Amino acid sequence: MKSFVLFAACMAIIALGSLAHAYPQKLPVPIPPPSNPPVAVLQNSVATNSKGGQDVSVKLSATNLGNNHVQPIAEVFAEGNTKGGNVLRGATVGVQGHGLGASVTKTQTDTKIKGLDFQPQLSSSTLALQGDRLGASISRDVNRGVSDTFTKSVSANVFRNDNHNLDATVFRSDVRQNNGFNFQKTGGMLDYSHANGHGLNAGLTHFSGIGNQANVGGSSTLFKSNDGSLSLKANAGGSQWLSGPFSNQRDYNVGLSLTHHGCGG
């Protein structure tokens, strides 16, 4: 009897082995977690204008549209002054990834909304290369009926740690105006930022045949929510002509900037 039970058990094991060989089990294919949903970022800023009124700007951009390798760029914006006058509105589209980026911006200035009649007056295109410490870009701005500007720039990270960051940028712009007055702009800028959201910048620009202009600016984070979705910044800046026909002329501005990162879909 015991031999019969042992024989039956052996036959059962062999049968199960045959079934397993004939119908092998497939391991479940791991499903990657879903990527972060797109996030809408709304930015509003108000700044003083030396000619009167307050300059107001609104920009809506979308982030997390791509993946870890490629990120599309999409934003719309509008700028105006509280005293009235022209309103600038436009849109930017582009793509960036692997240290490369390209974008195109179309804008229009008019005194009223024309609905779907979107005829750009200013067209901008940019091609940028960004590495860990060095970067370069070329851009072209065509202001229809006014000017054509071609700009080349190189940037470098001078210093960086967990709290402090210092970048340096040099550039040259060739400006051709439709009225025949052409000139070059060459200059440089230092840009410092702190991990807490504070920053300072200073630059010097030479306008060929005109003179030199110095610029300084700063910003400070006044408020930031615990989740980082809402922040309020104060900024201030000024410029002064150091030489040329505009020598000693100054311009100042102060403002506030509110940024909100909305929820994804």
pLDDT at residue 34, as a whole number: 47
pLDDT at residue 233 greater than cutoff 90: yes
The answer to which of 18-32, 64-78, 99-113, 240-254 has the lowest mean pLDDT is 18-32
Candidates 225, 224, 222; CA nearest to 236 is: 222
- Domain range 38-261, CATH architecture: Beta Barrel (2.40)
**pLDDT band, residue 193 (cuts 50/70/90):** very high
Query: In this structure, what token pair is assigned to residue 19?
Result: 């079934």
**pLDDT band, residue 2 (cuts 50/70/90):** very low
Candidates 211, 229, 238, 183; CA nearest to 47 is: 238
Q: Please give the span between the terminal C-alpha atoms of the chain, in angstroms, as a whole number.
A: 69
Q: What is the DSSP letter of 3?
A: H
pLDDT at residue 235 greater than cutoff 50: yes
**pLDDT band, residue 117 (cuts 50/70/90):** very low
Q: Write down the mean pLDDT value for the chain.
A: 84
Longest alpha-carbon distance in the chain: 118
Residue ranges per structural domain of the chain: 38-261
Q: Which residues of 201-226 are buried (b: 16+ CB within 10 A; e: fewer)?
A: bebebbbeeebebebebebeeeeeee
Q: How many CB atoms lie within 10 A of CB 99?
A: 11
Candidates 192, 196, 200, 194; CA nearest to 224 is: 196
pLDDT at residue 5 greater than cutoff 50: no
Sort residue 198 into left (φ over 0), alpha (ψ -120 to 50) or beta. beta
